[in-house]
Structure 1
Amino acid sequence: MSATAKDTLALLLERAENERDAAAQALHAASNQAQAARAQHGELAGYRQEYQQRWTQSFAQATTMDIVGCYQSFGRRIDQAVDTQGHVASHADQRQQRAREALGQAEMRVAALRQLIARRQAEADKVAQRREQRAADEFAARAHLRRMAHA
């Protein structure tokens, strides 16, 4: 394999490895974001449940319509926040999945380039071995002819 081809393949491999490393970092960041979004969704859902339980206990006592209205209004806002955070968590999970797929593709490119480099190097080694064998055969043949000429 020529030095230019070797340098080109090495450069391609380096670029592919850098892209793979960037994809791994992106996956790590996406995983952290997805985990945080799911945790926040869980906390909001838990808070909504606690709020409903507290008010259910409060309704056992006498309450005014104003308090019931406040409860319902705040309950709707909590429900809305839980739904919104659920969507955020879902989108974060999708980003994480896309990042995981991108990393897989980047790893496959690196592996393919390494395999190509190994194959090209093996071919170059075979060519070099044949060349050396031919040179050795020619040297042996000439040495044999010289010996025959001297004899």
Structure 2
Amino acid sequence: MTATATDTLSLLLERAEGERDAAARALHTAGAQAEAARAQHGELAGYRQDYQQRWTQSFAQGTTMSLVGCYQSFGQRLNQAVDTQGHVANHADQRLLRAREALRQAELRVAALRQLIARRQADAAKAAQRREQRATDEFAARAHLRRTAHA
């Protein structure tokens, strides 16, 4: 394998490894964001459940219509917040899946380039071995001719 081909493949491998490392960092970031989004969704849903339980107890004791209106208004906004955060968490999970796939593809590219480099190096070693064997055979043949010519 020529030095230029080796340099080119090494450069491609280095670039692919850089892309793989970037994909790994992106996966880590996406994982942290997805986890945070799911946690926030869980907290909001838990708060909504607590809020509903408190108001159910308050209604049992009697309350005014203005407080009922406040409860309903805040409850609607809380439901919207929970729903919105659920969508955010779903999108974060989708980004996480895409990041995981991007990392897998980047790792496949690195592995393929490493395999190609190893194959090319093995081919170059075989070619060098054949050249050396040919030179040795030629040297032995000339030596034999010289011996037979002198005899």
Q: Where do residues 2-81 of structure 1 align in structure 2 (5 Å cutoff)?
A: 2-81=2-81
Following superposition, which runs of at least 4 residues in structure 1 exceed 6 angstroms of deviation? Answer: none
1:85 aligns with 2:85: yes
- The one-letter code sitting in structure 1 at the alignment partner of 2:29 is A
Deviation at 1:28, TM superposition (A): 0.4
1:149 aligns with 2:146: no
Give the Cα–Cα distance (whole angstroms) in 2 for the partners of residues 16 and 128 of structure 1: 29
Give the Cα–Cα distance (whole angstroms) in 1 for the partners of residues 107 and 16 of structure 2: 8
Give the Cα–Cα distance (whole angstroms) in 2 for the partners of residues 11 and 129 of structure 1: 27
- The one-letter code sitting in structure 2 at the alignment partner of 1:60 is A
Deviation at 1:150, TM superposition (A): 2.5
- The one-letter code sitting in structure 2 at the alignment partner of 1:63 is T
Give a deviation string over 1:53-107, Cα, whole Å, max 9, x none: 0000011112000000000011001100000000000000010011001001101
1:105 alignment partner in structure 2 = 105
Identity %: 83
Give the Cα–Cα distance (whole angstroms) in 1 for the partners of residues 98 and 27 of structure 2: 8
Deviation at 1:145, TM superposition (A): 1.4
Give the Cα–Cα distance (whole angstroms) in 2 for the partners of residues 15 and 63 of structure 1: 68
Name the SS for the 1:60 alignment partner: helix
- The one-letter code sitting in structure 2 at the alignment partner of 1:62 is G
- The one-letter code sitting in structure 2 at the alignment partner of 1:129 is Q
Give the Cα–Cα distance (whole angstroms) in 1 for the partners of residues 130 and 138 of structure 2: 12
Equivalenced residues, count: 151
Deviation at 1:149, TM superposition (A): 2.2
Give the Cα–Cα distance (whole angstroms) in 2 for the partners of residues 27 and 78 of structure 1: 31
Name the SS for the 2:61 alignment partner: coil
1:96 alignment partner in structure 2 = 96
TM-score of the aligned structures, taking structure 1 as reference length:
0.98
5+ residue gaps, structure 1, are: none
Give the Cα–Cα distance (whole angstroms) in 1 for the partners of residues 75 and 136 of structure 2: 90
Give the Cα–Cα distance (whole angstroms) in 1 for the partners of residues 9 and 60 of structure 2: 76
5+ residue gaps, structure 2, are: none
